[in-house]
Amino acid sequence: MSRSYSRLRKQVAMSSSLFFILLSLPILVSCYNTQFGAFNVDSMTLIYRGVYLYDEKDSPRVRKGSKSEISLDIKIVPKNSTSGLHGSIETLITTEEVFKNIGYVDKNKRRIACCDDYAYTAKICKNKDHLLLPQGWQSESFLERTSLSGSESSIKVNYHPTKTGIYYVLTSVCETDISPLVMEGRMAVENPFGHLPATQYGSLPFYSVTCLAYFVCLVIWGMWCISYSKEIMSVQLIIMVVLISFVLNNVVKVIYLAVFNITGNNVFVLVLLSILVDCTTRALTRILTLLVCMGSLCLLPFSVDWASAEPRSGTRPASSWSSACPTSRLLFGTHTAICTLRTTPMRT
Residue 348 has a pLDDT of: 36
The answer to whether residue 5 scores a pLDDT higher than 50 is no
Give the count of beta carbons closer than 10 Å to the beta carbon of residue 186.
13
Q: Which comes out higher in pLDDT, residue 8 or 131?
A: 131
Letter string b/e over residues 34-43, b meaning 16 or more CB atoms within 10 A of that residue's CB = bebbebebee
Would you mind telling me the total number of residues written for the chain in this entry? 348
Instruction: Tell me, rounded to whole angstroms, the distance of Cα 135 from its chain centroid.
Output: 35
Residue 324 has a pLDDT of: 54
Residue 43 has a pLDDT of: 78
The answer to whether residue 171 scores a pLDDT higher than 70 is yes
Q: What number is the average pLDDT over the span 209-213?
A: 91
Residue 340 has a pLDDT of: 46
Contact in structure between 261 and 193 (CB atoms under 8 Å): yes
Residue 212 has a pLDDT of: 93
Residue 213 has a pLDDT of: 92
Contact in structure between 87 and 145 (CB atoms under 8 Å): no
User: Angle at Cα 20 formed by Cα 19 and Cα 26, nearest 5°?
Assistant: 105
Rounded CA separation 187/147 (Å)? 20
pLDDT digits (tens, 9 = 90+) for 337-347: 554 444 333 33
pLDDT > 70 in the chain, percent: 70
Q: What number is the average pLDDT over the span 212-232?
A: 88
pLDDT band with cut points at 50, 70 and 90 for residue 231:
confident
Highest mean pLDDT among 51-55, 245-249, 285-289: 245-249
